[in-house]
Structure 1
């Protein structure tokens, strides 16, 4: 169930150290991950490739999942003729180089690939937690969730499509929304962790409870959301998935960052505090 293993922090004091080590609100690494760590890494969010067959639109029984695959950003660059590097930007690498022929969106970008912003999908998050576990041990961790997600206050909605059975009977009743977990209800009434440009709900729990964060839409439908901020009690590392970024940043020891860069299941690059990750900062792929 959603939020399992997490409990609300009734005061934001555990995260107040972060604001003191951020360089304001902006697009550089130091504006999103606390300064002062020995090393930093950028974990790129996995790419979903959707390449339907030519007759897909005419086949109502086709399953889109059967025609999708996961790519790395480097593989996207190989297809678009762009250059992979630590500060590459999604908009830049999905705009094909001159002479490269690919299906394009109205904005001129390869339209068969997508990447999620603001959340690290569960397989990649699980791989990252595996790397962090030896550096964390059994100590408690702090998990922060941006306060602006619509599902937190019931502002989001979903559609259910139903059809009559083969004998012409009525459609089955739509699934009922799941109850809001009590720890989420409590967090919504607690003081927020306030950082430059963003306010967060704060929770405490074990490291791998990060995989339980998200929206329990119905009893059988869980929509995961990785923590927007995650750090252990000893503050030896800190992870950030900024809501507008298509990558997750982490600061920590040299040994920890080397482990992140070498991990299977992750596409990660070393970055520096002053590096800019804004939309048009990719000067190698202009």
Structure 2
């Protein structure tokens, strides 16, 4: 059974990964939504490139607001990005790459359950009239579709735009969560799936754990780096 709740004892503040994506899986990965740069603004820019420019450290709990702010003595040249990473929406190319891995690690790719946050305004009648799923702090429209339709619907600007926010196959082999306030996507699944995603050079993905914090105040490494100067 998929379960979202407390990730571990000892978490007394902040938002843990296990409050966003279900507990009980073998492994977890955080896929960072790229920023956009280049002359036309469409070139994906990884967080690691921004962190290098800003003199920041890359780690699984890093936050965009921390790594994009130059440390003392850094950031003298032009910043390498034009648009910040999208919030609450997994970029098309990132979603398409993820779908390639996800399809190999489920026996039910023909049936995927999709939750789209019902607070989005740019949705069609399919989402407006769908049944609702209520979780703490969020209400979603629930839809069902083959995995390839879920991915291609985003890539082609179809019915899922701007979701999906929470989705999983019928056999519950994995779960993907793009929280509406975050600039990244979590994937929970088998160790094989997570290793496959983390090793894909098209993606910027770092393994994480359910007890890791993921709220805006979680990047203590780069905050403490500021305070040490």
TM bin, normalised by shorter chain, reads 0.7 to 0.9
Q: Does 1:23 align with 2:11?
A: no
- CA distance 1:101–1:33, change in 2 (3 Å): closer
1:1-150 alignment, distance < 5 Å? 17-18=1-2, 20-23=3-6, 27-49=15-37, 65=40, 69-102=43-76, 112-137=82-107, 138-150=109-121
- CA distance 1:47–1:260, change in 2 (3 Å): same
Tell me the distance in 1 between the aligned counterparts of 2:165 and 2:159.
Answer: 18
Residue 208 of structure 1 and its aligned partner are, at CA, apart by: 1.7
- CA distance 1:281–1:140, change in 2 (3 Å): same
1:220-239 alignment, distance < 5 Å? 224-239=161-176
Tell me the distance in 2 between the aligned counterparts of 1:223 and 1:136.
Answer: 21
Residue 280 of structure 1 and its aligned partner are, at CA, apart by: 1.7
Unpaired runs of at least 5, structure 2: 8-13, 224-229
Tell me the distance in 1 between the aligned counterparts of 2:136 and 2:42.
Answer: 38
Contact 2:96 2:151 in 1 (8 A): yes
SS state of the match for residue 114, structure 1?
A: coil
Residue 139 of structure 1 and its aligned partner are, at CA, apart by: 3.7
Residue 212 of structure 1 and its aligned partner are, at CA, apart by: 4.4
Tell me the distance in 2 between the aligned counterparts of 1:98 and 1:275.
Answer: 28
Contact 2:96 2:152 in 1 (8 A): no
SS state of the match for residue 148, structure 1?
A: coil
**Structure 1 runs of 4+ off > 6 angstroms?**
none
Quick one: which of 145, 163, 167 aligns to 1:205?
145
Tell me the distance in 2 between the aligned counterparts of 1:145 and 1:191.
Answer: 11
Give the alignment's TM-score, normalised by structure 2. Answer: 0.84
Contact 2:37 2:81 in 1 (8 A): no
Quick one: which of 129, 133, 138 aligns to 1:193?
133
SS state of the match for residue 30, structure 2?
A: strand
Residue 144 of structure 1 and its aligned partner are, at CA, apart by: 1.0
Tell me the distance in 2 between the aligned counterparts of 1:233 and 1:130.
Answer: 17
Contact 2:45 2:80 in 1 (8 A): no
When the two structures are aligned, how many residues end up with a matched partner?
A: 216
Tell me the distance in 2 between the aligned counterparts of 1:111 and 1:205.
Answer: 35
Residue 270 of structure 1 and its aligned partner are, at CA, apart by: 0.5
Q: CA deviation digits over 1:246-286, x for unaligned, max 9? A: 01001111111111111231110000001001112101111
Which of these two proteins has the greater Rg computed from alpha carbons? 1
Contact 2:50 2:80 in 1 (8 A): no
Tell me the distance in 1 between the aligned counterparts of 2:172 and 2:159.
Answer: 30
